Structure formats: structure tokens, C-alpha cells
Amino acid sequence: MIIQLAADSGEPIYQQIAGVIKEQVHRGSLKPGDRIPSSRDLAATLGVNRTTVCLAYDELRRSGYIQSHVGRGSSVVGANGQRWLKGGQESEVNWDSLLSTGMLNLTRRIPARDGAAPRAWLDFSRLIPDQTLFPVKPFEGILKGVIRQRGAALLQYGPALGLPELRALIARRMQRWGIQATDEEVIIVNGAQQGMDLVFKALINAGDAVVVESPTYSNILPLLGFYQARVVGVPMTAQGLDLDSLRSVAARRSPKLIYTIPNFQNPTGICTSEAHRRQLLSIASEFNVPILEDGYEEDLRTSGKNVRPIKAADRAGRVIYLGTFSKGLFPGLRIGWIVAHRTLIETLGAAKFSTDYHTSLLLQAALTEFISQGHYDRHLKRLQKVLARRLQLTLRSMKEYFPRGARWTLPAGGYSVWVTLPPGVSGRQLALDARHQGVLIAPGEHFFQSSEDSGSFRLSVSTVSETQIRQGIQLLGKAIAAQAPPQSLRGGVAELPHV
């Protein structure tokens, strides 16, 4: 057996040895049953440490090329060492055994249902906009005009960072929120979700600590799992992320990123004050941690005064702002954006280029025109009115129908209300019970890293009519009461104040 070792190949010696032996098995110069030298002899021949040869033999045994017997040495296994060939017939590839570590960490759960539920359900479970309100007609007209005028160019490859006119439009619109951004500080992505994926690609190494609110947006958790981040949940209070806990976590865990949703937080609906935002930014500055600010429902305020995003106070380029058209307009466009420091935007552009080149130009152009002509703002006004009525009715109905001991948030906008159940009532069980009555809710466990049952749930008012709200809340109230131990229902109906 001739083995030539290449000292400068960068490949460990034991792998080189194992590789050569595998090759000889496959070439047929080593045949089933052939003896191979003892590790002592081969080590002496090659002038390497015996341990190295043992490592090579271990690898060969593990992958089924050789077998060893005490006192008889090692020999080549039958059938060319090809365990995956069963009786000459190739068996199916076992894909589950080939998955990457990241993929194994990604909770592989795709919801069975996509899009809206049939109208017969009372669906309080999902944060999807109400498609019966979609301004389809004006979008149809604009799409037609855009493709007629610039069709060929818009169906060609395009810039990774996005259509220049949409980047410029978004930079201008960010000024409404006090964010001063140039066009070069904007990248267009396939919805906020891809924004997160690109940001994590750019910043997260396996083992990095990432702070999230607890509870938080459920679909960020599997993605952080994929990147093998150590997710550190910081509790939400009625005022937002608990800042004392955050400070302590920032000091002890040196997080790589803080993910926060200051407006109409998912799932609690809580909106933080300007003071809270300033303190959060100041803690992030003190510990030199970037902030990923998710402004997914920035446009959905229904009462009270606008609070400026954290990004508006950011002078150091520390805040990465995520925006989307999926909650206030059409999720199906798959268009969102990131505003961040120009250096980071360029890096994200390179990540986007190698990930999927760019977002559809045709849809970007149509959206630009749609917004420029004022259709988006008109739609928002209408949506905010409908949403305000639904939120108020939901809160009134809960007061009327929910048993004592239940508490909830009072959101000033957005789609989510967070309900804390009376002691002893399980969110998971309630979701099951309610489902039997045709009412869908999102149990609290979806929004915690632990996925443990919690005495809470999220109510989304995004797709329910006013009749459905009254009906659904009444049914939920009964289901809660049925589950609650009698003593837990004492005490007044408590409402968590909103900011």
C-alpha cells in the first residue's frame, strides 16, 4: 500500500491517510477482505505518530470501509465498503441525515394555512392585513401603466440595492418619522423577514448573543436558531422592554444585536415612550451594541400622538431600521426596506446580490408609482379608521365578556392585543377549546423562546369584522371562564395601561 502525504495540503494527515485508503478501495486495488497494515506498522512506514494512523482507521471504520478484530488486525469490508448500496440496489438518500447544524436548529414548522382563513372562522390568530380592504383597483391601473411604459427594462435584471426611485421615495418618507436618511442608506428587500435574514447573515456568528423582547415576533426565533445565535429574552413590561434587565444582560452577555419593536409590539401591542426609546439607545451606545428596530406597523397608529422611532435619535449609525409594506398594504408584494449606516447597506447589498440578486423591479416600480400618486396614504387613512373601530370594539367586548382576573393591553394602533389569563388558565388549552367553537387565537407560547405553555394569548383584530369581534370575544370569554378555577376569577378586571 503506497501512501504519499502532502505536508502543505492544509488537510490533516489522518484525513489524507483515510482518503488514500478510501480511494484504493473504490479503485479496486484494495478488495473486500484484504488486510490493511497494523496502525503501528503504517505509522512506522509513514514516519507519523501512531495516534494519527489510529484516527484515520477510526474514520474508515465509522464510514464503513474497514472492520477490525482483536488479534486479527483490520481488513476491508465487503461490497466495496458501500453500506448505502443494499444488494446492488441503490436505496434512497437519507436527506435528514445530511442537514446542516443551522437547519437542525431551525424549528421546521410551516403553518398549515397560508393567506386568509375561510370567512366562517372567527380568525383572531394571524397578523395579516384584511384583503377585503385592499386597494386592488388603483394598483391594477398603475401596474398596467408601468409595464406599458417600461416593461422590458423592468423585466430585466436590476440593481441589488433596489430601484433608485423607490429608495429615494423611502428616504423621503422616513423624514415623516424624523429619520434623516439619504438614498444610499436604503436597501429594498423582500419584506422585513428577508431584511432580518440579510442582517443576520452580515452580523451573526454561531454563539453570538442576540437580545429579543420576551415575548417577541415568533418567526424571528427559528431564523436566529438557524444562525445558531444564543437568544437572550428580556422581559416586556407595560412600558416596553425592561431596561434594567437589558442593562444587566448587555453588561454580562456582550450581545451582538438588540432586536426591538417599539411600536405596537408583536405580540403585546405595547408602544414605548420617547423617553424609553432614548434610554434604550443610550444603553446600546454605552455597551456598543447595534439595535435592530422593527417598524413593521409604524403606519398603523389609530390614537394618540406619533412617537419617533429610535432611529430618529441615532447619530452614530447604530440603529438598523426595518420597514415593510406587508402590514399596511400588500404582503404579496414581498417588499420591505432597511435604513442603516451606508457601510452596512453596502454590505447588505453584497449579501442580497449573492442571495437572490434583487427584488422584482416591476413590483418596485408599481409600488413607487402607487405611493407617489397618494394611493398608499389614502388607503392608510381608511385602514386606520377601520382598525380604530375594531380595536375599540374589541376592548369594549373584552370588558363585557371576559371573566374577572383576565388582563389585557390597550394598544394605540396595530393589530395585536395581548391577553393575560386568570391564574391557572392555559393559553394552549384555551386555543384548542376556542378552535372547537370556530375561534382562532395565537397562544402565548408561540412568542416565547421556551415554547412553554403560558397563561396568555395574542388577539389579532386584523381580519375580523365587527360582528365577528363581538361573537368571537363572547365565545372566548365563555371558554376562559370554563377553564378558570373559581378563586382565580376574583378581583376586578384589570387593564394594563398603554403608553
Q: Residues 32, 151, 235, 497: which binds a copy of itself (CB under 8 A)?
A: 151
- From CA 124, how far away is CA 126, in angstroms rounded? 6
Site for a copy of itself in 301-320 (CB under 8 A): 315-318
Site for a copy of itself in 63-82 (CB under 8 A): 63, 80, 82
Note whether 348 and 155 are within 8 A (CB).
Answer: no
How much of the chain is in helix, strand and coil states, percent to nearest 5? 45, 15, 40
3-state secondary structure of 235: strand
Q: Residues 29, 44, 84, 378: which binds a copy of itself (CB under 8 A)?
A: 84
If the CB atoms of residues 236 and 250 are measured against a copy of itself, the closer one turns out to be 250
Tell me the Ramachandran region of residue 224: left when phi exceeds 0, alpha when psi lies from -120 to 50, beta otherwise: alpha
CB atoms within 10 A of CB 34: 14
Q: Does 288 bind a copy of itself (CB under 8 A)?
A: yes
Q: At what angle do helices 375-401 and 136-154 cross, to 10 degrees?
A: 140
The stretch among 28-36, 192-200, 474-482, 488-496 that binds a copy of itself (CB under 8 A) is: 192-200
∠ CA 209-214-217 to the nearest 5 degrees? 90
Q: Does 95 bind a copy of itself (CB under 8 A)?
A: yes
Binding-residue total with a copy of itself (CB under 8 A): 113
Q: Does 2 bind a copy of itself (CB under 8 A)?
A: no
If the CB atoms of residues 253 and 404 are measured against a copy of itself, the closer one turns out to be 253
Q: Does 131 bind a copy of itself (CB under 8 A)?
A: yes
Q: At what angle do helices 361-372 and 375-401 cross, to 10 degrees?
A: 80
Q: Does 323 bind a copy of itself (CB under 8 A)?
A: no
If the CB atoms of residues 146 and 270 are measured against a copy of itself, the closer one turns out to be 146
List the grid coordinates of 32. 473486500
Q: Does 454 bind a copy of itself (CB under 8 A)?
A: no
Q: Does 90 bind a copy of itself (CB under 8 A)?
A: yes
Q: Does 1 bind a copy of itself (CB under 8 A)?
A: no
- Structure letter (DSSP) for residue 56: H
Rounded least distance, CB 198 to a copy of itself, Å: 9
Q: Does 467 bind a copy of itself (CB under 8 A)?
A: no
Q: Does 102 bind a copy of itself (CB under 8 A)?
A: yes
Site for a copy of itself in 401-440 (CB under 8 A): none
Q: Does 363 bind a copy of itself (CB under 8 A)?
A: yes
Question: Which residue carries 372567527 as its cell?
Answer: 122
- From CA 428, how far away is CA 456, in angstroms rounded? 8
